[in-house]
Structure 1
Amino acid sequence: MQAEVVGQRDDGSMIRKRGNDLGGFLRSRRERLTPAEAGIEPGITHRRVSGLRRGELAELAGVSVGYYTRLEQGVSTSASGAVVDALAMALRLEPAEHEHLRILASPRRPVRLRSSRSTLRPSIRVLLATMSAIPAVVIDHRSDVLAWNRLGHALLAGHVDFDAPDSRVRPNIARMLFLDPHHRALYRDWQAKAQVTVAALHQAIARHPADPELERLIGRLAVDSPEFARMWVRRPVRACSYYLRQLDHPVVGQVTLSNETVTLPDDDQQIGLFYAQPGTADADALTLLAQGLELHPVGPETAAQKENAQ
């Protein structure tokens, strides 16, 4: 189960406080909501916290203080749909946060044992190869890179071997974002990208509480990156399939691209697509990057091209 990261074992897995994933999320949102935002009149007594008190939230949600306290303390680890909806309304949760709370509070929370390595369908690899003009990358719920096309590789991680997704240790977007200075420098909007990445990992571990590889990734990031650790404890949750990415690319310079994320059904994998409006300087930058690949090809295409040239 998801919980607070408090350390790391020798094998890299997380040492966590068990049984309080639901409570931790509730507490973070209660402390975030001010009395004014909740419509509570200010009292004459001094408040020791800026957010709502437990009793205030319980009253807004229509539950007893004792019951809410048991939820937040991890004594009770599930709640009915009606209680979840009432808490979500009282806490002013966004739709993505509401759904996240529903997953955490499910009395029959699904536990999907994951293999140590995600598998990419061959048809998706073929699909990537056909997208020669659009940078594309496929990641799994752990943010492991399962595959990318040539332009996607050149855009996001040209300093990494093209065939790295097929190696024993795959590139990982979250790990590169926080620990790889080359990949970090790519994002002019690094803070925004980092927040989205941490939120995605929170949602992933809520869906897959029995995934040791995911636990190990989060544990290592929490230990190796103070920035990740600070973001993680804030428990960001959001859902958005479209972003504008402001990049500072080492080859083509500053470029702003639309980033669409398409979820693959049944696989818990996503395709990230990057594109620019036709006729813009950003589109010209992508064309320039593609032309550079034609002059200096990488990946499995290279061997075939060399044979044809002989």
Structure 2
Amino acid sequence: MHKKALSAMLRERRALISPESHGLARPTGQGRRAPGLSQQQVDLLLNRAIHTYHRLESGTYHNPPVGLLREVAQLFRFDEQEWVSLCRYARDEDPPGPLRPSAGKEIPGMWQEAVEGILHPAYITDASWDMLACNSPFTEMVPDGRVPGNMMRFMLLDPDGRAILSDWETAWAPLLVPQLRAALVARPDDTVLRGIEREVLADPLAGPLYEAGGAVIHPDGDERPIRHVKLGPGWLRMCAAQPLASPGARLIILMYQQGPRQDGAPAIRSGRTWAGLPPA
């Protein structure tokens, strides 16, 4: 627990919530000068026992339950990044899932221009793997330039997807199904993901692989074989990142190498030189 950061964060945000906005009177007791809700009013609004919120804000509530943190975050109108910070300050861990079901379903419009400026094939999907943005090099590597509506469904179930993903049963599918399973753990009520899961379980090839499980939850740094529609067989080196304002969304950059697999670039560490100059 990070008491100082937790207390400052909660106290600042509590001060922004007016009691009147929740049908409560502003406390007028002796010495009461602080703006916003009182700690007792927070307990009242959350239907919690007296002093529950005081223990949280003061840092004396060790390992508070995620349910309490979620209720506080929703009452204080936290965004997704603030929700992550709250869980880290209070429990020393990331939250088990997003604060709101709508999280990860959209990105700022500037991301389309950013993706178009990437030289390699690149795309962004939302938290359900629905396509949000892609560039022209990406459309050139898929059959007929047809942009998939959902990348997970395309890679696991679409015949065109299976055709261009070389060695699909060994090099692709066993690494995809754990990502779907992990996403459902974090977003169990996501109807798109549940629909894909049902289709996968009903599929004679993908179903057994899904049932077998696996531990891979992201493709960052992977190298996998592919049949590029225009350039032929080769390998993809994959970079994965997340737009910070949209937890669960994914930016995927696919660096294509024609022909046989080649050694990848070494890991990047601080202290490297730039253009022959020593580090500052």
TM-score normalised by length of structure 1 = 0.47
2:249 to 254, 266, 269: 269
Query: Aligned equivalents of 1:271 and 1:199: distance in 2?
Result: 18
Q: CA deviation at 1:228?
A: 1.9
Relative to 1, partners in 2 of residues 1:256 and 1:113: Cα closer, same or farther, differing over 3 Å? same
Query: Aligned equivalents of 2:259 and 2:225: distance in 1?
Result: 13
Relative to 1, partners in 2 of residues 1:109 and 1:258: Cα closer, same or farther, differing over 3 Å? closer
Query: Aligned equivalents of 1:110 and 1:185: distance in 2?
Result: 34
Q: Does structure 2 retain, via aligned residues, the 8 Å contact 1:135–1:274?
A: yes
How many residues were matched structurally?
A: 167
Tell me which residue corresponds to 1:135.
121
Q: Look up the equivalent residue of 1:136 and give its one-letter code.
A: A
Relative to 1, partners in 2 of residues 1:174 and 1:276: Cα closer, same or farther, differing over 3 Å? closer
Percent of paired sites with the same residue: 19
Q: Do structure 1's residue 199 and structure 2's residue 178 form an aligned pair?
A: yes
Relative to 1, partners in 2 of residues 1:231 and 1:121: Cα closer, same or farther, differing over 3 Å? same
**Cα displacement string for residues 15-64 of structure 1 (whole angstroms, at most 9, x for unaligned residues):** xxxxxxxxxxxxxxxxxxxxxxxxxxxxxxxxxxxxxxxxxxxxxxxxxx
Q: How does 1:224-235 map to 2 (within 5 A)?
A: 225-235=203-213
**Per the alignment, in what secondary structure is the counterpart of residue 230 of structure 2?**
coil
1:221 to 194, 200, 203: 200
Relative to 1, partners in 2 of residues 1:209 and 1:113: Cα closer, same or farther, differing over 3 Å? farther
Q: How does 1:44-55 map to 2 (within 5 A)?
A: none
Tell me which residue corresponds to 1:210.
189
**Cα displacement string for residues 143-189 of structure 1 (whole angstroms, at most 9, x for unaligned residues):** 2221110001212x242545xxxxxxx61122222332222111113
Unaligned residue ranges in structure 2 (runs of 5+): 1-62, 64-92, 261-280
Q: Does structure 1 retain, via aligned residues, the 8 Å contact 2:171–2:224?
A: no
Q: Indicate the structure with greater helix content.
A: 1
Query: Aligned equivalents of 1:121 and 1:254: distance in 2?
Result: 35
Tell me which residue corresponds to 1:122.
109
Hey, which bits of structure 1, 4+ residues long, moved more than 3 A? 108-113
Query: Aligned equivalents of 2:121 and 2:245: distance in 1?
Result: 23
Tell me which residue corresponds to 1:91.
none
Tell me which residue corresponds to 1:159.
144
Tell me which residue corresponds to 2:153.
175
Q: Look up the equivalent residue of 1:129 and give its one-letter code.
A: E
Higher relative contact order (CA 8 A, sep 6+): 1
Q: Do structure 1's residue 258 and structure 2's residue 258 form an aligned pair?
A: no
Unaligned residue ranges in structure 1 (runs of 5+): 1-79, 81-105, 163-169, 283-310
**Cα displacement string for residues 258-281 of structure 1 (whole angstroms, at most 9, x for unaligned residues):** 11111222411111112257xx76
Q: Does structure 2 retain, via aligned residues, the 8 Å contact 1:125–1:147?
A: yes
Q: Considering only CA atoms, is the larger Rg found in Structure 1 or Structure 2?
A: 2
Q: CA deviation at 1:114?
A: 2.3
Q: CA deviation at 1:243?
A: 1.1
TM-score normalised by length of structure 2 = 0.52
2:130 to 129, 135, 144: 144
Q: Does structure 1 retain, via aligned residues, the 8 Å contact 2:121–2:136?
A: yes
**RMSD (Å) for aligned C-alpha atoms:** 3.1
**Cα displacement string for residues 222-276 of structure 1 (whole angstroms, at most 9, x for unaligned residues):** 22x1222112222212245111121112321112231111122241111111225
Relative to 1, partners in 2 of residues 1:188 and 1:276: Cα closer, same or farther, differing over 3 Å? closer
Q: Does structure 2 retain, via aligned residues, the 8 Å contact 1:141–1:201?
A: no
Q: Does structure 2 retain, via aligned residues, the 8 Å contact 1:258–1:274?
A: yes
Q: Does structure 2 retain, via aligned residues, the 8 Å contact 1:111–1:209?
A: no
Relative to 1, partners in 2 of residues 1:189 and 1:264: Cα closer, same or farther, differing over 3 Å? farther
**Per the alignment, in what secondary structure is the counterpart of residue 274 of structure 1?**
strand
Q: Does structure 1 retain, via aligned residues, the 8 Å contact 2:124–2:251?
A: yes
Q: CA deviation at 1:134?
A: 1.1
Tell me which residue corresponds to 2:222.
243
**Per the alignment, in what secondary structure is the counterpart of residue 245 of structure 1?**
strand
Query: Aligned equivalents of 2:140 and 2:158: distance in 1?
Result: 16
Q: Look up the equivalent residue of 2:125 and give its one-letter code.
A: I
Tell me which residue corresponds to 1:87.
none
Relative to 1, partners in 2 of residues 1:181 and 1:110: Cα closer, same or farther, differing over 3 Å? closer
Query: Aligned equivalents of 2:200 and 2:107: distance in 1?
Result: 25
Q: Does structure 1 retain, via aligned residues, the 8 Å contact 2:184–2:190?
A: yes
**Per the alignment, in what secondary structure is the counterpart of residue 238 of structure 2?**
strand
Query: Aligned equivalents of 1:201 and 1:146: distance in 2?
Result: 18
Q: Look up the equivalent residue of 2:199 and give its one-letter code.
A: R
Relative to 1, partners in 2 of residues 1:109 and 1:274: Cα closer, same or farther, differing over 3 Å? closer
Q: Does structure 2 retain, via aligned residues, the 8 Å contact 1:116–1:213?
A: no
Query: Aligned equivalents of 2:98 and 2:259: distance in 1?
Result: 47
